[in-house]
Amino acid sequence: MADTKAKPGQPKQGLLLDIRNLRIEATVYPPGEPPKNIVLVHDVSLTLEKGKVLGLIGESGAGKSTIGLSSMGYGRGGVRITGGEVLLNGRDILKGGKEGFRKLRGREVCYVAQSAAAAFNPAHRLMDQVVEATLLHGTATRAEAEKRAVALFKKLSLPNPETIGERFPHQVSGGQLQRVMTAMALCSEPDLIVFDEPTTALDVTTQIDVLAAIKEAIRDTHVAALYITHDLAVVAQVSDEIMVLRDGKKVEHGETRRIIEAPRTDYTKALVSVRSIEHEEKELTPTALLSVRGATAAYGGGVVKVLQNVSVDVRPGQTLAVVGESGSGKSTLARVVTGLLPPISGSITFAGRTLAPRLAARSKDDLRELQMIYQMADVAMNPRQPVGTIIGRPLEFYFGMRGRERDHRVAELLDEIEMGKGFMDRYPAELSGGQKQRVCIARALAAKPKLIICDEVTSALDPLVANGILKLLLNLQQHEKVAYLFITHDLATVKSIADSIAVMYRGEVVRYGAKSKVLTPPFDAYTDLLLSSVPEMEIGWLEKAIKGRRIESGGH
Amino acid sequence: MGSPVLRLVAQRIALGILLLLAVSVLIFAGTQILPGDVAQAILGQSATPESLANLREQLGLNDPAYVRYFRWLGGVVTGDLGTAMSSGQDIATSIKGRLWNTLFLAFWAAIVAIPLAVILGLIAVRYRNGWVDKLISGLALASASFPEFFIGYVLVYFFAVKWQIFPGISTVYDSMPFGERMQAIALPATALTLVVLAHMMRMTRAAILNVMQSAYVETAELKGLSAFNVIRKHAFPNAIAPIISVVMLNLAYLIVGVVVVEVIFVYPGMGQYLVDHVTKRDVPVVQAVGLVFAAVYISLNIIADIGAIVANPRLRHPK
- Residue B237 to residue A170, Cβ atoms within 8 A: no
Which residues 6+ apart lie within 8 Å of A267 measured at CB?
A: A244, A246, A251, A252
Q: Quick count: other Cβ atoms within 10 Å of Cβ A507?
A: 22
Which residues 6+ apart lie within 8 Å of A532 measured at CB?
A: A545, A548, A549
Residue numbers of A between 31 and 90 with CB closer than 8 Å to B: 72, 74, 76
pLDDT of residue A1: 40
Domain boundaries, chain A: 2-272, 290-380+447-531
**Roughly what angle, to the nearest 10 degrees, separates helices B65-77 and B3-33?**
130
* % of chain B residues with pLDDT over 70: 97
The phi, psi pair for B113, rounded to 5°, reads: -70, -40
| pLDDT one-digit tens code per residue, B110-124 | 999 999 999 999 999
Q: Quick count: other Cβ atoms within 10 Å of Cβ A278?
A: 6
Closest CA in chain A for residue B311 = A123
Instruction: Report the CATH fold assignment for A2-272.
Output: Rossmann fold (3.40.50)
Confidence of residue B14 (pLDDT cuts 50, 70, 90): very high
Contact A243, A54 (CB under 8 A): yes
Question: How many CB pairs (< 8 A) connect A and B?
Answer: 72
Q: Is A525 on the interface with B (CB under 8 A)?
A: no
Closest CA in chain A for residue B310 = A123
The CA distance from B182 to B184, in Å, is 5
3-class SS of residue B278 = helix
Q: Is A246 on the interface with B (CB under 8 A)?
A: no
pLDDT of residue B36: 66
The CA distance from A327 to A504, in Å, is 10
Q: Quick count: other Cβ atoms within 10 Å of Cβ B230?
A: 21
Domains, chain B, with CATH or none: 3-77 (no CATH), 96-311 (1.10.3720.10)
Sign of the dihedral defined by the CA atoms of residues B275, B281, B282, B285, in that order = positive
pLDDT of residue A502: 93
Q: Which residue in the set A74, A102, A122 is minimally distant from B313, CB to CB?
A: A122
Closest CA in chain B for residue A171 = B319
Shortest CA gap B210–chain A (Å): 14
pLDDT of residue A12: 58
The CA distance from A446 to A367, in Å, is 13
Sheet (strand A353-354) strand order: A304-314, A290-299, A345-350, A353-354
Residue numbers of A between 143 and 182 with CB closer than 8 Å to B: 167-168, 170-171
What tens-digit pLDDT sequence spans chain A (556 residues)?
Answer: 444 444 444 555 788 999 999 999 888 776 677 888 888 899 999 999 988 999 999 887 788 889 999 999 898 877 888 888 899 988 888 888 888 899 999 999 999 998 888 899 999 999 999 999 999 998 889 999 999 999 999 888 888 899 999 999 988 888 889 889 999 999 999 999 999 988 887 788 888 888 888 888 888 888 999 999 888 888 889 999 999 999 889 999 999 989 888 889 988 888 887 666 777 778 777 788 999 998 998 887 777 788 889 999 999 999 999 998 877 888 889 989 998 888 888 899 998 888 888 888 899 888 999 999 988 888 889 888 999 999 999 999 999 988 899 999 999 999 888 888 788 888 888 888 888 999 999 999 999 999 999 998 888 788 888 888 898 999 899 888 899 999 988 887 888 889 999 999 888 899 998 888 888 888 888 888 888 888 888 888 888 888 877 555 544 4
pLDDT at B224 over 60: yes
pLDDT of residue A276: 65
Q: Does ipTM top 0.90?
A: no
The CA distance from A329 to A341, in Å, is 12
Q: Which residue in the set B224, B313, B317 is minimally distant from A137, CB to CB?
A: B224
Which residues 6+ apart lie within 8 Å of B117 measured at CB?
A: B196, B197, B200, B201, B204, B247
Contact A487, A455 (CB under 8 A): yes
Closest CA to B235 of B313, B126, B309: B126
Instruction: Report the CATH fold assignment for A290-380+447-531.
Output: Rossmann fold (3.40.50)
Q: Is A101 on the interface with B (CB under 8 A)?
A: yes
pLDDT of residue A109: 94
End-to-end CA distance of chain A: 39
- Residue B223 to residue A106, Cβ atoms within 8 A: yes
Bond before A522 cis per omega within 30 degrees: yes
Mean of per-residue pLDDT scores for chain B: 86
| pLDDT one-digit tens code per residue, B43-64 | 777 778 888 888 778 777 778 8
DSSP string, A252-284: EEEEHHHHHHS--SHHHHHHHTTT----PPPPP
pLDDT at B9 over 70: yes
| pLDDT one-digit tens code per residue, B245-304 | 888 988 888 888 788 888 888 888 888 888 888 887 788 888 888 899 999 889 999 998
